[in-house]
Amino acid sequence: MYDLARQMLFKLSAETSHDLSLDLIGAGGRLGINRLLTKAPARLPTTVMGLQFANPVGLAAGLDKNGAAIDGFAQLGFGFVEIGTVTPRPQPGNPQPRLFRLPQATAIINRMGFNNLGVDHLVERVKAARYEGVLGINIGKNFDTPVGRAQDDYLLCLEKVYAHASYVTVNVSSPNTPGLRSLQFGDSLKALLDALATRREALALASGRRVPLAIKIAPDMTDEETAQVASALIATGMDAVIATNTTLSREGVQGLPHGDEAGGLSGAPVREKSTHTVRVLAAELKGALPIIAAGGITEGRHAAEKIEAGASLVQIYSGFIYRGPALIREAVDAIAAMPVGARVGF
């Protein structure tokens, strides 16, 4: 069924097809019909960050930046849904075209630039959703906020989404907001994480609910840099790390149509880099905090590979575009079929 839909969607420009799919998934969610379109994945309840997940396969950030189709995605079988990246103020993102499919490589290049309707709009969408499962809200900074003041944007978003999120993801790894990735390193990272940890304690005290904080990182760091991030996460009491965002590398797409477009590359070509990052993190963290793996899962076995590398949960974006909802069930089944001893992060 998805093969047919894909044939039609892939005839449209990547962004038109993205907008249309989001509308359809959102409408299907409101009508409650999405679960009729796809066979439900096996139940594989998983507890991570103190939260109960229906299964360990989630929707990665960026597909539903404004929380427009939360119920729709949940009904397709995802065990959790991450919305955003959202910024304090609405912003248009980069000029179009800014989204490119590379079907020969099962890949996508994007330079969307956090196009979103702002955090207040997103909170209204979350309030309107009926979904009661795990909802992650991914936060970032406006493109025109100087990097030196990035903290203000993250803290403002944290305050606004706190009451509405199962967990909050701090995105310091998008390549499409100038300077953002510099927040992954050294004193900038420590200062940001300290400020977030302090504000979270205040919010937890005031609300009686401690919302887990996850940090999302890039696949383009050296092993030493990744290890330094791991130490900073432990030192500041973070609750999870998401590895990874898109890559700046063009390995695997050189010479292909759109292969030299600027932006972040995702899908099959980022898989090994992302899994490597998971392995380095797992070796450094030694279970101190869980890893959520994203990057290049286009078949069920790739999800199992991430769990074997040390992840507790996985997320999918590009694979969902190419394979549709069938990939969710395939990934859950592949994880369920793993020998229990191989599920390192569980």
Ligand X SMILES: Cc1cc2nc3c(=O)[nH]c(=O)nc-3n(C[C@H](O)[C@H](O)[C@H](O)COP(=O)(O)O)c2cc1C
- Residue ranges in contact with ligand X by CB under 6 A: 60-62, 65, 85, 99, 108, 110, 112, 114, 138, 171, 174, 216, 245-246, 266-267, 270, 294-297, 316-319
Report how far residue 68's alpha carbon sits from residue 115's, in angstroms, rounded to the nearest whole number.
Answer: 13
CB of 206 to ligand X, least distance (A): 27
**Token pair 């973070």: residue:** 238
Nearer to ligand X, 30 or 96 (CB): 96
Token reading at 128 = 């309107």
Residue with tokens 């679960």, as numbered in its chain:
35
Nearest distance from C-beta of residue 215 to ligand X, angstroms:
11
Q: Which DSSP letter does residue 247 get?
A: B
Radius of gyration of the chain (CA): 18
User: Which residue type occupies 277?
Assistant: T
Q: Which is nearer to ligand X, 321 or 340 (CB)?
A: 321
Q: Looking at this protein, which amino acid is placed at residue 65?
A: K
Q: Which of 17, 173, 174, 266 is catalytic?
A: 174
Question: 142, 186 in Cβ contact below 8 A?
Answer: no
Would you call 174 a catalytic residue per the annotation? Answer: yes
Which pair of structure tokens corresponds to residue 202?
Answer: 């205040």
The C-alpha atoms of residue 261 and residue 245 are separated, in whole angstroms, by 17
> Considering beta carbons, is residue 78 or 114 the nearer one to ligand X?
114
> Toward ligand X, which CB reaches closer, 108 or 135?
108
The minimum distance between CB 36 and ligand X, in angstroms, equals: 25
What are the CA-CA distances from residue 195 to residues 158, 198, 199 (Å)? 11, 5, 6
For ligand X, give the closer residue by CB, 36 or 279.
Answer: 279
CA pair distance 54, 328, nearest whole angstrom: 12
Residue nearest to ligand X (CB): 62
Question: Which residues are designated catalytic?
Answer: 174
